[in-house]
């Protein structure tokens, strides 16, 4: 798009949107694709494709638009607010703008990042990245604002059921099956159930713990969120502004319990999924649930959402001599609040976030702690470095709606984020130079992530291998926490740990901070080999540039997976809910494309 003399930013964006709409309405998809840079991205979150998809380059974008069911019906593209000057790292100056649009069935919103170039003496603007996102199904708007419940109970001669009567009845599911069964009542399960509830989808959440929030409440004593509260608000109920920046685990646990009640979620605690199978003919699941009293219930939901967390199945390595070791052996996922290891020698195996937090907690209790480092680790200070990743949220908290911030965040596809992460991660490392030099001198092996892209890309790729420092690094530098790096644990011999270099360390207790097995194995444990193999790998970036089998349809009909960092769970679970609602109402094709095949 060519800029006219003295054109305003709004006019530039308006011209781009007009050209995009005109190209699509005339079904000239190649012309629409030419509005993007040669290295540009179009990302669609359900709006046009009914999938979570990213396309890079005009050829792929044109093909994606051509295949998108709703692309030809895109209309009423309008600038939302004012366009703003911005900058995307090494890509230079941008014009950033939010916009709204419609399709036949939905209302949508999006973001575009335009960059200038000079061709034949004229300045042109093309999209480095554009996002189209489904926000509302026209026939089924969320029950918020003007669509909230307005009925008023009027007394009758025989009395009426009040709100509490109805809530108790709804939660029992005595005379019906839920449309959706959500497995897991941590933040991911509660968030997706909330989004489903606002769309009028009858949903039951189950959890094996005694209380909602126990998945946090029972973790190690010192646990706090390592990113800012501004990033982690829950839908419809943000944390109070009086809360600490880094939320303690028990505070979060209690909030989740309160949130489930306030959002009127149907949750069965102390309930276990025993078995599950899917019948393609009836398009329903058969699930067997075991209740807290030992009773069983068979249900037939249309959809199942697995929300047990990306870190679902603990990785517990086989250690020679463990069965004769006289001291305790714990895994970091277990109940560790009551550990009393003062003046004891403790070996912590691992150097990820849990390992650091537990080592710090034990050290401050007076234990003699040694960390066994099996592979190099990315270490970043919480402040100022890690806070750079949350500036969008922290700088705009209370100023811009968090849904708008999530939209802006989602407008940078993961592959573009990878390119931007290199310079930013090096900036972080430079800010942390003294910290990192001290760790190296203490014998701690460091890296800056695969292809020098830092800790956040490690989260997206592996959900492991990093630590946001909240104090353990200083204890390592001071020598109060010892580190053994470059060796492995060969065996436990009596009360000694024997390492692969032949050295020995007397130990009274061992903590396995050894992470988790791939989430596909959690699917296998719950749903069996056939479904796990059909679904394929979970988490990590796939060849299509999206998280594998997360938030959108999987190859198993009626099956979704949600989880991961709270900022992603909050942002993307609404698309899970919209996708399920669209399927239930017959608005979208049920079967996902072959590109979602197991890699």
Judge if 278 and 329 occupy the same domain: no
Average pLDDT rounded to a whole number, residues 364-376: 96
pLDDT tens column, 188-231:
999 999 999 999 999 999 999 999 999 999 888 888 998 999 99
Judge if 287 and 186 occupy the same domain: yes
Judge if 503 and 561 occupy the same domain: no
pLDDT at residue number 593: 42
Question: Is 299 among the domain residues?
Answer: yes
Q: Is the peptide bond before 384 cis (omega within 30 degrees of 0)?
A: yes
What range does the domain containing 82 cover? 9-137
SS3 content of the chain, % helix, strand, coil (to 5): 35, 25, 40
List the helix and strand counts (H, then E) for the chain. Answer: 17, 26
- Interior CA angle at 462 toward 460 and 467, to 5°? 90
pLDDT at residue number 35: 97
Last residue of a domain, one of 122, 137, 152: 137
pLDDT at residue number 158: 57
Half-sphere exposure of 313 (CA within 13 A, CB side): 12
- Among the ranges given (3-12, 68-77, 277-286, 458-467), the one the predictor scored with the smallest mean pLDDT: 3-12
User: Taking all residues of the chain, what is their mean pLDDT, rounded to a whole number?
Assistant: 93
Last residue of a domain, one of 514, 534, 550: 514
pLDDT-derived band at 153, boundaries 50, 70, 90: low
pLDDT-derived band at 9, boundaries 50, 70, 90: very high
* Three state DSSP letters for 108-168: EEEEEEEEEEEECCEEEEEEEEEEEEEEEECCECCCCHHHCCCCCCCCCCCCCCCHHHHHH
Higher pLDDT, 544 or 160: 544
510 touches 347 (CB < 8 A): yes
Q: Is the pLDDT of residue 159 over 50?
A: yes
Task: Report helix, strand or coil for 171.
Answer: helix
| Strand segments (E) across 149-291 | 180-183, 203-206, 267-268, 272-279, 284-290
pLDDT-derived band at 517, boundaries 50, 70, 90: confident
Q: Distance between CA atoms of 521 and 483, rounded to whole angstroms?
A: 31
Q: Distance between CA atoms of 297 and 316, rounded to whole angstroms?
A: 32
The CATH number of residue 84's host domain is 3.10.450.50
Beta carbons within 8 Å of 148's beta carbon, 6+ residues apart: none
- Among the ranges given (90-99, 146-155, 229-238, 291-300), the one the predictor scored with the smallest mean pLDDT: 146-155
Number of domains in the chain: 3
The CATH number of residue 348's host domain is 3.50.50.60
Judge if 537 and 553 occupy the same domain: yes
Q: Is the pLDDT of residue 52 over 90?
A: yes
Q: What are phi and psi of 164, to 5 degrees?
A: -65, -40
pLDDT at residue number 598: 36
pLDDT tens column, 426-483:
999 999 999 999 999 999 999 999 899 999 999 999 999 999 999 999 999 999 999 9
Question: Is 146 among the domain residues?
Answer: no
pLDDT-derived band at 597, boundaries 50, 70, 90: very low
In residues, how long is the chain? 599
Task: Report helix, strand or coil for 56.
Answer: strand
pTM beyond 0.85: the answer is yes
Q: Is the pLDDT of residue 308 over 80?
A: yes
Q: What are phi and psi of 217, to 5 degrees?
A: -60, -30
pLDDT-derived band at 74, boundaries 50, 70, 90: very high
Beta carbons within 8 Å of 324's beta carbon, 6+ residues apart: 492, 494
Judge if 169 and 125 occupy the same domain: no
Question: Is 557 among the domain residues?
Answer: yes
Question: Is 157 among the domain residues?
Answer: no
Judge if 565 and 580 occupy the same domain: yes
188 touches 250 (CB < 8 A): no
Query: 461-465 — which CB contacts under 8 Å span 24+ positions?
Result: 461/540, 461/541, 462/540, 463/310, 463/311, 463/516, 463/539, 463/564, 464/352, 464/515, 464/516, 465/352, 465/375, 465/377, 465/378
Q: How far is CA 164 from the centre of its chain?
A: 33
Question: Is 149 among the domain residues?
Answer: no
Q: Is the pLDDT of residue 594 over 60?
A: no
Q: Distance between CA atoms of 367 and 60, rounded to whole angstroms?
A: 57
DSSP 8-state class, residue 294: S
Phi-psi region of 213 (alpha: psi -120 to 50; beta: other; left: phi over 0): left
Judge if 276 and 338 occupy the same domain: no
Average pLDDT rounded to a whole number, residues 120-141: 94
Q: Distance between CA atoms of 115 and 92, rounded to whole angstroms?
A: 8
295's tokens: 């009773």
Beta carbons within 8 Å of 168's beta carbon, 6+ residues apart: none
Average pLDDT rounded to a whole number, residues 314-340: 85
Last residue of a domain, one of 514, 540, 559: 514
Judge if 419 and 492 occupy the same domain: yes
387's tokens: 């806070």
Judge if 581 and 457 occupy the same domain: no
Beta carbons within 8 Å of 429's beta carbon, 6+ residues apart: 385, 436, 448, 454
Q: Distance between CA atoms of 552 and 468, rounded to whole angstroms?
A: 29
Average pLDDT rounded to a whole number, residues 91-114: 97
Helical ranges in 218-279 per DSSP H: 249-262
pLDDT at residue number 118: 78
Average pLDDT rounded to a whole number, residues 105-129: 92
Judge if 343 and 414 occupy the same domain: yes
Q: Is the pLDDT of residue 246 over 60?
A: yes
Average pLDDT rounded to a whole number, residues 470-497: 97
Q: How far is CA 113 from the centre of its chain?
A: 24
| Strand segments (E) across 329-459 | 329-331, 345-349, 368-373, 378-381
Question: Is 1 among the domain residues?
Answer: no
pLDDT-derived band at 311, boundaries 50, 70, 90: low
Q: Distance between CA atoms of 563 and 394, rounded to whole angstroms?
A: 22
pLDDT at residue number 423: 94
Beta carbons within 8 Å of 297's beta carbon, 6+ residues apart: 288, 289, 291
Average pLDDT rounded to a whole number, residues 142-163: 76
Question: Is 279 among the domain residues?
Answer: yes
Q: Is the pLDDT of residue 168 over 70?
A: yes
Q: Which helix (H) or strand (E) holds 177?
A: none
Question: Is 218 among the domain residues?
Answer: yes
Average pLDDT rounded to a whole number, residues 357-385: 95
Please, is 516 exposed, middle or buried when counting C-beta atoms within 10 Å of its C-beta (0-12, 13-18, 19+)? buried
Judge if 574 and 508 occupy the same domain: no
Higher pLDDT, 234 or 159: 234
Judge if 307 and 416 occupy the same domain: no
């Amino acid at each position: 798009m060519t800029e006219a003399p003295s054109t305003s930013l709004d006019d530039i964006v308006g011209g781009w949107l007009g050209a995009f709409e005109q190209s699509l309405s005339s079904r000239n998809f190649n012309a629409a694709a030419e509005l993007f840079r040669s290295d540009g991205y179009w990302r669609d979150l359900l709006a046009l494709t009914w999938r979570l998809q990213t396309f890079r380059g005009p050829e792929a974008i044109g093909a994606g638009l051509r295949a998108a069911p709703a692309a030809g019906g895109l209309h009423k593209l309008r600038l939302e607010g004012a366009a703003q000057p911005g900058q995307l790292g090494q890509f230079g100056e941008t014009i950033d703008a939010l916009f709204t649009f419609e399709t036949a069935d939905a209302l949508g919103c999006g973001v575009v990042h335009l960059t200038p170039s000079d061709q034949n003496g004229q300045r042109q603007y093309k999209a480095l990245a554009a996002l189209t996102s489904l926000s509302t199904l026209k026939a089924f708007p969320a029950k918020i604002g003007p669509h909230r419940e307005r009925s008023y109970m009027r007394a009758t001669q025989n009395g009426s059921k009040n709100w509490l009567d109805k809530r108790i009845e709804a939660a029992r599911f005595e005379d019906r099956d839920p449309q959706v069964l959500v497995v897991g009542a941590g933040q991911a399960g509660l968030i997706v159930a909330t989004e489903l509830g606002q769309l009028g989808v009858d949903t039951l959440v189950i959890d094996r713990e005694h209380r909602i929030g126990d998945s946090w409440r029972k973790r190690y004593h010192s646990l706090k969120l390592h990113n800012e509260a501004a990033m982690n608000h829950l839908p419809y109920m943000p944390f109070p502004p009086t809360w600490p920046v880094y939320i303690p685990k028990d505070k979060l646990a209690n909030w989740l319990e309160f949130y489930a009640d306030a959002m009127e979620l149907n949750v069965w605690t102390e309930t276990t999924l025993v078995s599950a199978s899917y019948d393609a003919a009836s398009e329903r699941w058969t699930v067997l649930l075991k209740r807290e009293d030992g009773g069983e219930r068979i249900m037939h939901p249309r959809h199942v959402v697995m929300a047990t967390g990306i870190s679902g199945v603990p990785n517990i390595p086989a250690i020679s001599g463990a069965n004769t070791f006289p001291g305790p052996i714990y895994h970091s996922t277990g109940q560790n609040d009551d550990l009393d290891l003062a003046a004891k020698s403790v070996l912590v195996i691992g150097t990820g976030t849990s390992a650091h937090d537990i080592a710090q907690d034990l050290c401050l209790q007076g234990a003699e702690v040694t960390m066994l480092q099996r592979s190099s680790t990315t270490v970043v200070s919480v402040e100022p470095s890690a806070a750079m990743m949350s500036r969008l949220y922290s700088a705009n908290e209370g100023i811009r709606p968090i849904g708008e911030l999530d939209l802006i965040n989602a407008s940078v596809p993961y592959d573009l984020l990878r390119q931007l992460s290199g310079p930013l991660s090096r900036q972080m490392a430079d800010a942390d130079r003294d910290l990192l030099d001290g760790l190296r001198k203490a014998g701690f092996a460091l890296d800056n992530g695969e292809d020098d892209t830092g800790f956040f890309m490690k989260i997206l790729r592996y959900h492991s291998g990093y630590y946001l420092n909240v104090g353990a690094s200083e204890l390592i530098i001071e020598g109060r926490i010892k580190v053994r790096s470059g060796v492995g644990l060969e065996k436990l011999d009596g009360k000694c740990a024997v390492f692969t270099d032949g050295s020995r360390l007397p130990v009274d207790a061992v903590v396995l901070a050894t992470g988790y097995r791939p989430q596909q194995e959690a699917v296998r444990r719950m749903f069996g080999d056939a479904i796990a193999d059909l679904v394929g790998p979970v988490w990590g970036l796939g060849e299509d540039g999206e998280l594998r089998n997360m938030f959108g349809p999987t190859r198993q009909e009626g099956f979704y997976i949600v989880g991961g960092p709270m900022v992603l769970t909050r942002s993307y679970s609404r698309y899970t809910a919209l996708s399920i609602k669209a399927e239930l109402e017959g608005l979208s094709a049920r079967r996902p494309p072959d590109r979602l095949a197991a890699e």
